[in-house]
Structure 1
C-alpha cells in the first residue's frame, strides 16, 4: 500500500470536513488539490522547514512535501532563536513555510489553500525516501534529526491500525502539537493514510475534546489529567471507541478516574521518535493500568539485563528495552557514530528505557535508564513505581522521583511533589512524613523517599513529559 493511500484514492467519497483544524476545514479533494499544487513547486528542492502551528497551511505543506518526496522538517512555533537556528542549519533546509521568524533567511514558500488551477497528483515515490526529519527533545545536548522514511511511517501506522481497529469509519480528535510524532504522524498523517476524518481541537482543553464528537481521542497524560478533573467533559467522551494516551506514562489514578467517568479504560501505548509506536494495548484486548501492552504488527521487543542476557518474563525483572521492526528510523542526520551507538551488533535499537514484561508478553515501562533507575543501598529501584504509589495519596497532584548522589547509599530517593492545597491539612513536615510512610508501607522500606520536596510545578517539554534532568543537582 502506498503511503497516504486514502488521500491518493480519488474514488473515495468526498468529505467536506475530512481535515478540520479548530474551525477551519478541508475536504479530501481540496486537500488533495492544494497539496498537489504545493508539491509541484518543489521539483528538485531540498528539505523544507515548516513552522508547524496547528493550521491547514501546516497540513498542506507537510502533505505536499510527502507527495513530492521532499523531506519535511516540522519546527515548533515557539522555538527560541538558538533552537531554530540549529534545526535549520542541521537539517539543511532550503526553504521555509510559515510566518517570518527572526534569524530565518531562507526563501519563503507560500501555500495556496484554494489553488485556481487543478494539478494532478504526483506519482508515488519510493518508500525508502526520507519523509520527515523530526528533532528529538535534546535533553543530552543539541537536538538530533531523526530520519524517518515513508515506508517506516506507513508500517508504523498500519501496525497501529491492526491493534486499534482503526479504519476510515473513525473520526480522530486531538489537540496535540504538529511538530512531534504523536500529533503529526499519528494524529494527522495516520488519518490521511487510513481515511479517517481528523479534527484538531486547536487547544487541548477538556471542553473542546468533549465537543469533538469523535470515535478516537489522542492525548498525553497532562490532557487526560485535566479531563479527569472535569467530570462533565469526561462524560461526554463515553460514546468514543478509544481514548488513547501516550508520550509519557499515564498515572494509574488518572486511568481509574477516566474509567469511572467514561465507562471505558484508556488505551496506553509506547513509542519513540526513532521507532514510532512499537507497543500498545489492543482495542479488543486487556487494558491494564500502567502497562503498555504487546508489540504491534511488524515490531519485536526484548528486555536485557545488565549482564546482556534476556530478562525473564516474570513481570518484575527490570531490564533495558530493545526493539526492531520496519517502523524504525534510518539514523540520526549527520551522526553515523551516534546512530551506531544506539544499535546492537545483531540489529536491535537500544531505546534507553527500562521495562518489565510478564508471561503474557505485556510490557510496563519503568522509566529512562539515565534518570529513572535508582541504585540505592545496593537495590535497583524504578522511580515509576514510587511515583505511582505517591499519586495514590489524595494530597498529591503530580510527582517526579529522582536519585541524587549520596555518600552512604550511592543514591538517595528524592520525590518532588506538587500538592493539592484543598486536600492538605497541617504542616508540610507532617505531610512529608505521611508520604514517606505511605511508600514504605505500600511498596517496601528501602523504596521510601529519603526526602520530599514540595514544589509549585514540574518542568515539562512540549509534549508534557517531565524533564527530570532539570531536577537533578548540577555538578560543582
Structure 2
C-alpha cells in the first residue's frame, strides 16, 4: 500500500508512503504555528503542504489560486495566518510577498521526515475556507476535523468508494469539491488520485486509458464539455461512477451523458458551511435534476418563506402553499415534490461558525438549531431533494407568484438551439420583478427571443415565461463553474 501511487498531478506523482514522509517534513516546518495559509494551486506542493498542516494539527487556510491582491490580503488578515506555506504570488515579488509580509516557508515535495505526530482532537479546526464573498467580504468558514471525517465517511458509503477506485478530476484545490472530497477523500479511502490540473474532456479520457480512472468528479460545465466530445465521452464509459456537483446539472446534459457513456451521473448537494449533506447513492435510483437523499448523519427540513405563493414546482403550473406569511423558520412546507421552501439542515457535517463573526454565525442558525442554507428546494414524499436555487437570486416574485429560476432554466435548456441559460428577476413597476433570461445559442442559427419565450410558455405556465430573452456569447462563471447571477442582474 505504501508503494502505491497516492497522488498524480500533471505527470508528477508520489507513492502513499512518500507522501506521508513529505507531509511530515512540512509538519516539522510549521510546528508551533496555529494557522497557516497555503496557496491552492493545482500542484503536488499544494497537496503536500495541506496534508502536512493537517498531519501536524495546524489549521490550514486554502487561498484561492485566482485570488487578487485585495481578496488575498483580506483572507490573510482575517484568518490571522502566521505563515505562508509555498511559493509567494508572482505579482507580489520575492520572499514575504503575500500581501501581509508573512514569513514564507517553501514546500519541497522531495524532502522526507520520519517524524510522527499525535492525532489531534477531532473537534479542532481543520480548515478555514472562505466563501465567495457575493454578499460582502468573504467570510471564513471554520470546519472541524470531525465534520470532514463525517462527510467523507458518509460519501464513501454512498458511492461505494474503495481503495480499488482511481479518482480523476481537474477541479480547483481550494474548494470543498476539489480539495476536501477530491484530495482528502481519496487519501482517507486509500484510492489513488489523478488530478488533470484542468478538467478537460481529453485529459479525463486519457486518465481512463492510462491510469484506469473509475470515479470521476466534475461540475456541470465539465460534463457539458464532455458531451461535446463524443470520443472522450465514449472512453469515460469505462468508469464506474460519474459525480456532478457544485451547481445543478441540467437534465439535457445528464441525458446526453447517458446516451454517450451509458452512465447516469450521480448528483450531490452541499455548501462550504455544511460540506455535503444530500447525495445520490451509487446503488440507488438516478433522477436527473434531483440531488438525492440526506446522508445518514444529516437531517433536513423545509421552512416557509414569507410572503409568497409557490408556483414553481409543477410543469403544469399547479400552485401549492408555502406556509403562513412571516413563518420563516416554521418547518411546515409539505414534502410533496412541488412546494418550495428554504432548505435547513443539521448534523455531523456542519461548520463551527464564521471566523470572528458571532452575529453572522448566530443569524445563520434557527433558534432550534438548524442551519439556514439560503437555498430554496423541494422534497418529495420519498425524501428526494431538488434544489431550486438561492433564495436571494433564484426565487423570483412576479405578479404575486414565486417562480423558481431553476425550473425556467431547465425549460430553456430543452430548446434545441440553446446551450446555456440563466434566469434572474429584474425590478418591474407592474410585476414587482420580471423574468429575464440570458441564453447562449449553439451557433447553428440566430436565437429568436420571442420564439424562446413562447417555447417556455408552452412547457410551463404562461406566467413563468421570460418577459425578456437576452442572447449573449457566454455566462459569467466562477472557478467552480457556477453562474454569477449577481453580475447578470446588475448588467
Q: TM-score range by the shorter chain?
A: over 0.9
- Pairing partner for 1:54 from 28, 36, 42: 42
Instruction: List per-residue Cα deviations over 1:27-81 (Å, max 9, x = no partner).
Output: 0110010111111222220211111111110011100100111111111222111
| Residue in structure 2 matched with residue 169 of structure 1 by the alignment | 164
Deviation of 1:310 after TM superposition, in Å, equals 2.3
| Residue in structure 2 matched with residue 432 of structure 1 by the alignment | 449
- Pairing partner for 2:11 from 23, 28, 47: 23
Mapped to 2, the partners of 1:310 and 1:163 lie a distance apart of 29
Structure 1, unaligned runs of 5 or more: 1-12
| Residue in structure 1 matched with residue 475 of structure 2 by the alignment | 458
* 2:274 is the alignment partner of 1:278: no
| Residue in structure 1 matched with residue 234 of structure 2 by the alignment | 235
Instruction: List per-residue Cα deviations over 1:111-133 (Å, max 9, x = no partner).
Output: 232225x4232111100111011
Mapped to 2, the partners of 1:276 and 1:77 lie a distance apart of 21
| Residue in structure 2 matched with residue 388 of structure 1 by the alignment | 410
Deviation of 1:100 after TM superposition, in Å, equals 2.0
* 2:154 is the alignment partner of 1:159: yes
- Pairing partner for 1:72 from 57, 60, 73: 60
After the TM superposition, which residues 88-237 of structure 1 pair with which residues of structure 2 at under 5 Å, given as runs? 88-101=76-89, 102=92, 103-104=97-98, 105-115=101-111, 118-213=113-208, 214-237=213-236
Mapped to 1, the partners of 2:422 and 2:146 lie a distance apart of 37
Structure 2, unaligned runs of 5 or more: 306-326
**C-alpha RMSD of matched pairs (Å):** 1.1
| Structure 2 residue matching 1:226: 3-state secondary structure | helix
* 2:366 is the alignment partner of 1:344: yes
Mapped to 1, the partners of 2:258 and 2:426 lie a distance apart of 36
Mapped to 2, the partners of 1:121 and 1:317 lie a distance apart of 53
Mapped to 2, the partners of 1:88 and 1:464 lie a distance apart of 25
- When normalised by structure 2's length, the TM-score is 0.91
Mapped to 2, the partners of 1:361 and 1:247 lie a distance apart of 21
Mapped to 1, the partners of 2:10 and 2:246 lie a distance apart of 23
| Structure 2 residue matching 1:151: 3-state secondary structure | helix
| Residue in structure 2 matched with residue 420 of structure 1 by the alignment | 442
| Residue in structure 2 matched with residue 8 of structure 1 by the alignment | none
Flag as ranges the 4+ runs of structure 1 deviating above 6 A: none
CA contact (8 A) 1:49 1:72 kept: yes
> How many residues are matched?
456
| Residue in structure 1 matched with residue 356 of structure 2 by the alignment | 334
Deviation of 1:472 after TM superposition, in Å, equals 1.3
CA contact (8 A) 1:207 1:233 kept: yes
| Residue in structure 1 matched with residue 376 of structure 2 by the alignment | 354
Mapped to 1, the partners of 2:66 and 2:403 lie a distance apart of 36
| Structure 2 residue matching 1:74: 3-state secondary structure | strand
* 2:257 is the alignment partner of 1:262: no
Deviation of 1:297 after TM superposition, in Å, equals 1.8
CA contact (8 A) 1:46 1:92 kept: no
Deviation of 1:167 after TM superposition, in Å, equals 1.4
Mapped to 2, the partners of 1:238 and 1:420 lie a distance apart of 25
- When normalised by structure 1's length, the TM-score is 0.94
Instruction: List per-residue Cα deviations over 1:355-402 (Å, max 9, x = no partner).
Output: 000011000000000000011111110000000000011111111101
Mapped to 2, the partners of 1:45 and 1:309 lie a distance apart of 43
CA contact (8 A) 1:32 1:121 kept: no
